[in-house]
Structure 1
Amino acid sequence: MKPDMMLAGVFAKKHSFTLPLNYQQPIGEQITVFARELCAIENKDKKLPYIVFFQGGPGFAAMRPAGNSGWIRRALKEFRVLLLDQRGTGLSSPINYQSLAHLTPAQQAAYLSHFRADNIVRDAEAIRTQLCPADKWAILGQSFGGFCVLHYLSAAPQGVSEAYITGGIPSLTRSSDEVYQATYQRVLAKNKDFFHRFHDAQHLVTRLAKHLLENSVYLATGEHLTVEMLQLLGINLGMEQGPESVYYLLEQALVRTPQGEYVNPLFLNHFCQLLDYNTNPIFALLHEAIYCQHNASQWSAHRVREQYPAFNYKIGKPFLFTGEMIYPWMFEQFSHLVPLKAAAELLADKADWPALYDLEQLSNNRVPVAAAIYSEDMYVEMNYSLETVKRVANLRYWLTSEYEHNGIRMDGERILDKLISLNRGDILR
């Protein structure tokens, strides 16, 4: 392996592939898909199988590693690791309001419709036939990456030797409304835990919310900071160290001076760093679509929220954070989403999304699958994951309360090692 770059204990090589935007029209418009191959320095001359990493999201690029650590350290003992920038992210024909500016809203929606798990998997399988056409490879999916893994096992199991999922076993059949009904319940529990752990947090955040209602406050990126925007910080409550990050930010939010009270510029800068909607628009545009099969989402999270009026903050009432939900008003308040509002409306009304999972194929699955299910996961409903487990043959799982949703980022070497042992029959679940 001739590396393009050297990290601590790792050789890294860049790959770029030209692939169809629409696999039903393979000679039509093409996109670029980027992947970074990693190999332990001591294994650079060995022929090792690949393991492909599917990042969480949708709409986030693969991690940019600094060296041989975490789950990568465990993987590199026996694999070459391929970090895939899913189409539309990172260096893979990235999508943003500028890259789509030349298209009409209808054209934007049509273009974006090709960026779900089905085409991400088609890209991966096309890459496999170029990199190692005679060999199968292993696949590892975190969060939304687990959705990609189950689609891979539905659509192209012949390319997979073994599969791993962390924090990302979706329901195979439930609607987006059912998903969000469960998610709001999870978010309520995370709010309860947050305000119990940090005893003055409710005072801090209601004081800040009152200030926002009575004053015009603008983020470092120029947007008007609203109470509903502030509630979005709750997306961090389901991550290891996320509640701490939110609390410490609230602690510094307001500054009192002889001239009056104002929002700390530090808060206004750091707030933007805890939300990704401007920088990763696919997450907002297609998040609900990842649950759609032959039906439209019609702003599911927004509609289901009506069943939970406690989230509608008013002065004098307790403040609640929201979670991993997308709302139509976000395309009016986040500056980089505003130009995509019309396309977002069309995607929310799109009802002809193809099916993502082949239930018969999964019930007869022969690829060994090992999964970590986090019982306290705020983003993926445990009971729906357990429903899916019963419908996928050859799947072993580890159910644990030790980790939040991003466990693989915090303790990835241990988690992947346990899943590899589970997949190969070395331990009982």
Structure 2
Amino acid sequence: MHSTQKLAGVIAHKHQFQVPLDHSQPNGAKIDLFVRELVRCGKENADLPFLVYFQGGPGFAAQRPMGDSGWIKRALDEYRVLLLDQRGTGLSSPINYQSLAGLSPNEQAEYLSHFRADNIVRDAEWVRGKLSPDTPWTILGQSFGGFCVLNYLSFAPQGLKEAYITGGIPPLSLNADAVYRATYKRVRQKNRDFHQRFPDAQALLDKLAAHITQHKPRLASGETLTVEMLQLLGIQLGMEGGPEAVYYLLEQALLQTTQGTVLNPFFAVQFSQMLDYNSNPLFAVLHEAIYCQGQASDWAAHRVRNDYPEFHYDADKPLLLTGEMIYPWMFEQFASLRPLRDAAHLLAAKQDWPALYDEQQLGQNQVPVAAAIYSEDMFVEMEYSLATAAKVKGLRYWLTSEYEHNGIRMDGERVLDRLIALNRGKLLR
């Protein structure tokens, strides 16, 4: 498939490829891979290098561009931008309970094991062989996309001219348990910040939790709303604009009627839209696996939560929201995750995950790398990011408290411009 669309100031071309499900078996099963190429109007015939964007996730498609704005505006000054729908997302053989319905749980788990950063990077190199075979290209990774960047630098640095990371420098060797111990502490602080900004939020949460416990209301999706599901709204506390969105939703959670207090239908719809577990199941299925190298995750967030009992709900204590954690009960409570429950348990028990990073290669890295590290990031532990940065030769970073995790979405033109200047020696870190 190759077609062209005109956006605001941008020409977009669609590319559809077929790549091996398992790159070690190039003649085996194939999956679709979708890439959208962007170039600024007036530069269609210019000989421009490529910049490939790796979306956050795992399990989210590349952004759908609206035009010449944000980080894309800065990138289009000197690049053709490639928005890669990572395998299993968007138009790249999307994964959901329907697409996997014909497979047994064991077959599902085996299939899903091929959808981590290592194979996303192999896909990118496969595409480079088609679009830029003789020329290394530039990559930009946001959040989980940064994990892909470090994998790329580890195993295919010959394909890279420059690399950029925003809010996504992973620990190189720490397991999922260590990651979630740090994350729970961060989320606890984000709860404190939230309640300092909105002093009546705790009363709203506690009242809603009591109502849910007593009445077991249903969401617009037909699912029964539980307190555990309510706590998942905390994922929004780590985004710029997220705390406000959570608070304003809580304000409208309950409705007084002649029949008594009921869950507001507005809340029942908006709540589901603020969580991505039904629409992006790969995020739940593989989230803990992004940290696994030669060991099982064994539902790390669920186990580690026992070390932080303040996150366990009790009617006699304030309700805390959780964050970017995946729990086994989610595969019982979310409708689109239930059919993947058995496969998720198999993946949580999988021990033979291959290595994602090569510390020796990173220590002798020759590719210019610049990263934005957000000191207040709820999703990526700052100390772990700094420890990794120190192990990547030549990596220059900008440590800032100006942004939350979604800084590139909120002020992308400035963020990318600063990183490009940093990478090219025009700006001291």
Fold in common (TM above 0.5): yes
Partner of 1:193: 193
Partner of 2:391: 391
What are the superposed Cα offsets for residues 313-339 of structure 1, whole Å, 9 maximum, x if unpaired? 111210100000000000000001000
Q: Distance in 2 between matches of 1:59 and 1:164?
A: 20
Partner of 2:327: 327
What are the superposed Cα offsets for residues 214-268 of structure 1, whole Å, 9 maximum, x if unpaired? 0020011110000000000000100000000000000000011232000100000
Give the conservation status (yes or no) of the 8 Å contact 1:293–1:355: yes
Partner of 1:170: 170
- 1:311-390 equivalences under 5 Å are 311-390=311-390
Give the conservation status (yes or no) of the 8 Å contact 1:19–1:31: yes
SS of corresponding position for 2:225: coil
TM-score in terms of structure 1 length: 0.99
Equivalenced residue count is 428
Q: Distance in 1 between matches of 2:162 and 2:240?
A: 28
Give the conservation status (yes or no) of the 8 Å contact 1:374–1:400: yes
Q: Distance in 2 between matches of 1:365 and 1:395?
A: 9
Structure 2 residue 417 is the aligned partner of structure 1 residue 412:
no
Whichever residue aligns with residue 312 of structure 1, its letter is H
SS of corresponding position for 2:158: helix
What are the superposed Cα offsets for residues 408-429 of structure 1, whole Å, 9 maximum, x if unpaired? 0000000000000000000100
Q: Distance in 1 between matches of 2:33 and 2:198?
A: 44
Partner of 1:258: 258
Q: Distance in 1 between matches of 2:187 and 2:68?
A: 35
Partner of 1:303: 303
SS of corresponding position for 1:25: coil
Q: Distance in 2 between matches of 1:228 and 1:60?
A: 23
Partner of 2:23: 23
Moved over 2 A (4+): none
Give the conservation status (yes or no) of the 8 Å contact 1:376–1:401: yes
Q: Distance in 1 between matches of 2:111 and 2:175?
A: 24
- 1:305 CA displacement: 0.1
Give the conservation status (yes or no) of the 8 Å contact 1:3–1:11: no
Structure 2 residue 80 is the aligned partner of structure 1 residue 80:
yes
Whichever residue aligns with residue 32 of structure 2, its letter is T
Whichever residue aligns with residue 321 of structure 2, its letter is F
SS of corresponding position for 1:98: coil
SS of corresponding position for 1:298: coil
Partner of 1:135: 135
SS of corresponding position for 2:52: strand
Q: Distance in 1 between matches of 2:4 and 2:214?
A: 54
Partner of 2:160: 160
SS of corresponding position for 1:42: coil
Q: Distance in 2 between matches of 1:366 and 1:70?
A: 29
Whichever residue aligns with residue 397 of structure 2, its letter is Y
SS of corresponding position for 1:196: helix
Q: Aligned-residue CA RMSD in angstroms? A: 0.7
What are the superposed Cα offsets for residues 278-330 of structure 1, whole Å, 9 maximum, x if unpaired? 01011000000000000000000000000000001111210100000000000
- 1:29-108 equivalences under 5 Å are 29-108=29-108
SS of corresponding position for 2:35: strand
Whichever residue aligns with residue 294 of structure 2, its letter is H
Whichever residue aligns with residue 5 of structure 2, its letter is M
SS of corresponding position for 1:66: coil
Partner of 2:401: 401
SS of corresponding position for 2:42: helix
What are the superposed Cα offsets for residues 133-154 of structure 1, whole Å, 9 maximum, x if unpaired? 1111000000000000000000
Structure 2 residue 105 is the aligned partner of structure 1 residue 121:
no
What are the superposed Cα offsets for residues 351-408 of structure 1, whole Å, 9 maximum, x if unpaired? 0000000000000000000000000000000000000011000100000000000000
SS of corresponding position for 2:103: coil
Structure 2 residue 14 is the aligned partner of structure 1 residue 14:
yes
SS of corresponding position for 2:93: coil
- 1:3 CA displacement: 6.1
Q: Distance in 2 between matches of 1:425 and 1:216?
A: 58
Partner of 1:221: 221
Q: Distance in 2 between matches of 1:72 and 1:398?
A: 20
SS of corresponding position for 1:141: strand
Give the conservation status (yes or no) of the 8 Å contact 1:73–1:413: yes
